[in-house]
Structure 1
C-alpha cells in the first residue's frame, strides 16, 4: 500500500474515507453497542461518534515525541536493522522520533537511532532530507500546484500514530467488528479507545486499538495485538505531546558541519514528477497486461486474511542477490505437505511460505492458510 506523505496533505486531519464512517454507522461492520468513557468527567462516545470525531479532527500545530516498538517475531532478522536511525529500523525493536507540525506546509520528522538520525523537513516549498550517517542532505523545491509525493517522505510518515491508524481504519468493512473500551491515558492526556477486531478466525491479528484524544480527536496511540496476546506486537504512541504551534525556527534546516547538500532545481523536480507520473502510468498498463501471466502477483481471499501469491524471479544462482535470498531462506525452518516442500517464517502478525519450486505466499494469516493456498 502506498502511504501518502504528511508533507503533501493536511498531516493531522484524518483521511478516513467517508464511507468508513458510513459503513460503521449504517451497520456494514459490526459496531459494538458499548460506549467509551475515558474518565468519569468525560461524556460517553459510541464507536460511530468516535469515527466522526476522528474524521473531522483538525489542529493548528503540535510537537512531541513518538515511540514505535515492534515485536514481530523476526528473531535474528530484527537485529539487522536496529539502531540505525533510518527507515528500515522500523521493522524491529524500539524507535524514537520527534515530530513538529505547524500547518499543511510546515512539518518535520526526526527519526532517532543509536547510530544515526534521519530528518525530513518541509518549510513552505522547501523540502530537505538529511541523513547523519551519510553526512548528506537532499534539497528540492516543490513546484507551485504540484503534489509532493516523495517515497521516502511518505515512508517516514508511517511512524506517526495518524498514519498507522489510517491503515487500520482503511480495513473497516463487513469483516470487522468495531467497538469501544474503557479509559485510556496517553502522554498525560485523556483518550477514548476504539477497537477493531477481525471476525475471520484465520487472521493472526487479534485487535487493533486506537487511543483517540478526548479533546483534539487525533490518535495518540495505535496498538496492534496478535491473536490471544496480552501485549501489543506493534505500538506507535506519543510519549509526550504539546498542541502549541512550534516556532518557525524548527523548520529551518541548518546543515551540520561537513554535510554535503545536493540541490535540485525546479526544472529537475518538475521533470522528476512528470517522469514519475509517466512511469506510474506505464507500470499500471504493464500490470494489466501481465495480470493473466503466472508470474504476476495474485491476491487470494479478502479482508484481514488476504494472501499475496507470487513467483520468485529467475536469477543466476551465482548472482549476489540470489545468494543473499538463499541464505535468508535457509535460516527458516523447513516444512512440507501436499503442496510440496519449502521454508516457513511464522511471525506474530504475519506468515511467509517460500516453496522449493519458487513460489511465495504471505499474509497476516496462520501457516495453515498458506498451505491451503499453496496446494
Structure 2
C-alpha cells in the first residue's frame, strides 16, 4: 500500500518530488550524517527522507500531545473569557491538547480528541464515517460515496498527529530549505533520528523545524516548530505513547450509547447526491469570486490573502448593535492589534511568534509565517 495515500488521522510523508529535490542536492541534504549514538547506524538526511517516503506500518495506536505557545497572551485571554473554561481555540494558542489515535490500514482509522468534560471522536470503518461528541451524547453518521473512498476525504481533528505536522513542513522542502541531521533522540520510549529543516529566506518567521523519525518504523514521533532565535518550540506535536501492534477491529466499531442522538447525514461531502465539483470555478462570479482566498508565493514565505465580507469598522458597528458585551469583546480584540499604515493604506497588525496577520481598513486580510514587512509589500 503506497505511503502517499493520505490517511485521515495519520498522513504519511514526503511528496516524491520534494524528496528528489532534496536528495538531488536542492537542499544540501546528503552531507551531514546522523550518528552520535552508537546504538543507531549512521543515516544521512537524504537516507532519512527515503525512509520517511517508504514508511508504511500495518497499524499503530498511541497518545498524541499537541502544545503551543504562539506569543499571543492577549488573544488567548480574550478567547478564554469568551469560552468560559478557556479550552478549544485558547489551547491552540497557548496550551495543549491530547488525542488518542488508532490505525489499521487506510479504511480503519480513529482519532479521539480528549477534553476535560468528554471526548470527540472521528472514526472511519470502511465507507462508514462517525463523528461523535460524548459530552453532548450526539453524533453524525455518514457514508463515503463510491468515488470518494480516498481516506484524505475524511475530516480531521485537533491536534494533528506528528505525521500531519511533518507533512506540512516537508512539503516546503525545496532549494530554499537547508536539511540536516543532529543525531539520535528518544521519543515515547523509542529510538529516533533527528532531522532539522531550516528556511534560508530571512523573511520567514520559522527558525527551524525538528523531526524525530522512528529508527525502525520510520514515521515521525515528534515535530517541533521553532520561531527565529527561540530556544523552546512554539508548537510541538508528539507521541507520548505508541505501539505498532495492529489495533483490534472493535476500536473502529461504533455503537451509540443509550439515549444518544445520531444524525444520518447521507453521503459525506456530497449533500443531496450532488458532487463537490458540480459548481465549476468559472461559474463563480462577483463578490464570491473576489473574496476567495489566494496564495501568493510558495514554501516557507507563502502568504494567504482574501477579501473580507465586512471591514473591521463594519464588524465593530454590527457588534455594537448586538449588545454591549459583544461590542466590548470585538473592540477588545481589535485593540490587541496595533494600528499600522504605509503606502498600501492603513489597518491593524497581529504578530505572533510564528505568523503575522494584516487586517486592512478596506477589508483585506494578509497572513503568513513572515515578517510584517513582507505583508506590507504584498498589500
Q: TM-score range by the shorter chain?
A: 0.7 to 0.9
Say if 1:66 and 1:240, in contact at 8 Å, map to a contact too. Answer: yes
Aligned residues between the structures? 361
- Of 48, 53, 58 in structure 2, the residue corresponding to residue 60 of structure 1 is 58
**1:209-255: CA deviation from partner (whole Å, max 9, x where unpaired):** 11100000011011110011111101000000111111222222132
Please, which moves more after superposition, 161-170 or 73-82?
A: 73-82
Say if 1:12 and 1:58, in contact at 8 Å, map to a contact too. Answer: no
SS in 1 for 2:274: helix
TM-score between the two structures when normalised by the length of structure 1: 0.85
SS in 2 for 1:6: coil
SS in 1 for 2:362: coil
Match of 1:277 in 2: 276
Match of 1:48 in 2: 46
- The whole-number CA distance in structure 1 between the counterparts of 2:295 and 2:265 is 39
Please, which moves more after superposition, 171-180 or 309-318?
A: 309-318
C-alpha spacing 1:273/1:6, structure 2 compared with 1 (3 Å)? farther
- Which runs of structure 2 are paired with 1:78-157 in the superposition (5 Å)? 78-79=76-77, 80=79, 90-144=92-146, 146-147=148-149, 153-156=154-157
**1:269-291: CA deviation from partner (whole Å, max 9, x where unpaired):** 58538524235x52x3356x679
Match of 1:355 in 2: 360
**1:328-365: CA deviation from partner (whole Å, max 9, x where unpaired):** 32332223344443221110000111122333221111
C-alpha spacing 1:242/1:200, structure 2 compared with 1 (3 Å)? same
- Which runs of structure 2 are paired with 1:1-375 in the superposition (5 Å)? 6-7=7-8, 14-31=12-29, 33-37=31-35, 39-79=37-77, 80=79, 90-144=92-146, 146-147=148-149, 153-156=154-157, 159-265=160-266, 268-269=267-268, 271-272=270-271, 275-279=274-278, 281-282=279-280, 284-286=281-283, 297-314=293-310, 318-320=317-319, 328-374=333-379
- The whole-number CA distance in structure 1 between the counterparts of 2:221 and 2:204 is 25
- The whole-number CA distance in structure 2 between the counterparts of 1:128 and 1:122 is 7
Q: CA deviation at 1:52?
A: 0.5
C-alpha spacing 1:122/1:180, structure 2 compared with 1 (3 Å)? same
SS in 2 for 1:27: helix
Say if 1:140 and 1:263, in contact at 8 Å, map to a contact too. Answer: yes
Unaligned runs of 5+ in 2: none
**1:6-50: CA deviation from partner (whole Å, max 9, x where unpaired):** 24xxx6573422111110111122325111126312111111100
- The whole-number CA distance in structure 1 between the counterparts of 2:149 and 2:12 is 18
SS in 2 for 1:258: coil
Unaligned runs of 5+ in 1: none
- The whole-number CA distance in structure 1 between the counterparts of 2:338 and 2:167 is 34
C-alpha spacing 1:150/1:18, structure 2 compared with 1 (3 Å)? closer
Please, which moves more after superposition, 190-199 or 244-253?
A: 244-253
C-alpha spacing 1:77/1:134, structure 2 compared with 1 (3 Å)? farther
C-alpha spacing 1:274/1:22, structure 2 compared with 1 (3 Å)? farther
Q: CA deviation at 1:305?
A: 1.5
Q: CA deviation at 1:86?
A: 5.9
C-alpha spacing 1:54/1:94, structure 2 compared with 1 (3 Å)? same
Say if 1:158 and 1:164, in contact at 8 Å, map to a contact too. Answer: no
SS in 2 for 1:156: coil
